[in-house]
Structure 1
């Protein structure tokens, strides 16, 4: 519209403006303001003060995907469920991993949920658009005590032995928790270790947790303590921490590349999710010795997360079950033989016994009587012992 006409329309009475809108001359005066995709996503991400910088970077990947597929100027109310289905197929066509597709659809769904909460759209087009994440069974690996001994032997120095030990024996997240551990966090006398957790600090009481100073861990930390320079603050050399800290928070400090070389030097094949499986192996061990709620409190996750992402079935579980089955079979065989012997004895007792005449006394020595003989001694005498009367 020209400026004068637009100004006249804005000043119209609401009822009259609705009449003009019904015949298509002007837009509905009560229509929701149009929101473009790029503008909303930027404002939404910038306004989430509860998100860490690193999290915003990860969600930025989904923002780029949505803007690339739908276009930055696309009005959000014009995106339909069918469009959301097509977006999913677009991700599939890019040969992304199933877990990546699952996560990106999950984030996109949360974006449009926020739009619906703000009354910008009537329905969430991504509701029900899901993709199953790949299971983690094929990426799980229990790092056995013998394997971790080989890895520790192959570590180039005490700093790496501390990194590996804190992850495998303490169950710490690497790099964030491992590289945040300070010497003042270790209570040698009480045998406790306070773990600062950057990942869960936004949860209630999640900024830190206390774990036992396990014997395997105490030995490695004592070595590091003896070799630490005067005035050292962190257990692991601070250069590792500096390389892991970026402008957006914890970033990849390239520990995985160096650790892969250490595992190969130990003569082992690098397992999937190198540090995660060290932590998962420790949690699997601890659950066999302590209640689940205790272990998850120590490791800083929940029973649900532990069951889904950490706890594993190992070869030792199968071996132990076989050993228990053999013991059970032997016990069952012994019990069956005992029952058979007892049954034979009962059967002997149930055989007919000779009836002793009432007027003959059979001496029985206390303690030597057969149980069956004892029963016989209390049998009712036969007819003729007392005169028969009509009342008996």
Structure 2
């Protein structure tokens, strides 16, 4: 059972019990809108508690939500991205929050990897629909001409970094139990050895 608490100036706090813990979410709007949201959150809590997929009308409402608010519901434990048709864009946004503390250079690299994933899958592709075959195809697609310019694809190192990032964020979805399996798990990535870094190991040392 959820409760609605006025915080003044059209600001409301909705409290709900999830897994025995009281959690809350803040909403700004009219009392009627807050009451409507309260009802929907109560329904979501019921679905989450019973491990059920939300009804069609609730799913439509979820898809129409602002992404930031949808992710708040995920963080509260009211939504599972895989169960409610969470998209690639939802997963990337969630990962972005987790990695917000990273150094600017690393964040810039991650932005590039995310761009590649959006270009291949599309922002609205449900994460639950991504298969091992899709992961294989992404690896091939990244290396094809046209990715960097008209005549070149990404090099082996760049392909490997993007595949590793995809594996990393899909593993987040598995750990959060939004997905039952990681389609990128076990997918081999190309490894290019820099000839300048090769060195001779004497037989005596190798033995």
TM-score, L = length of structure 2: 0.52
CA contact (8 A) 1:116 1:122 kept: yes
What's the offset of the Cα at 1:27? 8.4
Structure 2: distance between partners of 1:102 and 1:26: 39
1:33 matched residue in structure 2: 84
Structure 1 unaligned blocks of 5 or more: 141-311, 319-392
**Where do residues 175-254 of structure 1 align in structure 2 (5 Å cutoff)?**
none
Query: Partner of 1:117 in structure 2?
Result: 175
Work out the CA distance in 2 between the residues paired with 1:39 and 1:63: 12
Establish whether residue 83 from structure 1 lines up as the match of residue 134 from structure 2. Answer: yes
Counterpart residue number, 1:262: none
Q: Which residue of structure 2 aligns with residue 74 of structure 1?
A: 125
- Deviation sequence 1:224-280 (CA, Å, 0-9, x none): xxxxxxxxxxxxxxxxxxxxxxxxxxxxxxxxxxxxxxxxxxxxxxxxxxxxxxxxx
1:51 to 2:51 alignment? no
Conserved 8 A contact 1:77-1:121: yes
**Quick check: 1:88–1:129 contact (8 Å CA) kept in 2?**
no
Provide the rounded CA distance (Å) in 1 between the counterparts of 2:84 and 2:97: 21
Q: Which residue does the alignment assign to 1:99?
A: 157
Structure 2 unaligned runs (5+)? Answer: 1-35, 60-79, 146-152, 203-207
TM-superposed CA distance for 1:139, in Å, is: 3.2
Are residues 1:132 and 2:183 paired?
no
Structure with bigger strand share is 2
Q: In terms of Rg, which structure is larger? A: 1
Instruction: Give the Cα separation in 2 of the matches to 1:105 and 1:82.
Output: 13
1:28 positional shift: 11
Question: What is the rounded CA distance, in whole Å, between the counterparts of 1:119 and 1:108 in structure 2?
Answer: 17
Q: Residues 123 and 27 of structure 1: is their aligned pair in 2 closer, same or farther, counting only changes over 3 Å?
A: farther
C-alpha separation between the residues in 2 aligned to 1:56 and 1:104? 13
Quick one: distance in 2 between partners of 1:106 and 1:65? 13
State the shift of 1:41 in Å: 0.5
Is contact 2:91-2:169 (8 Å) kept?
no
What pairs with 1:1-392 in structure 2 (closer than 5 Å)?
32-94=83-145, 95-136=153-194, 138-140=195-197, 313=199
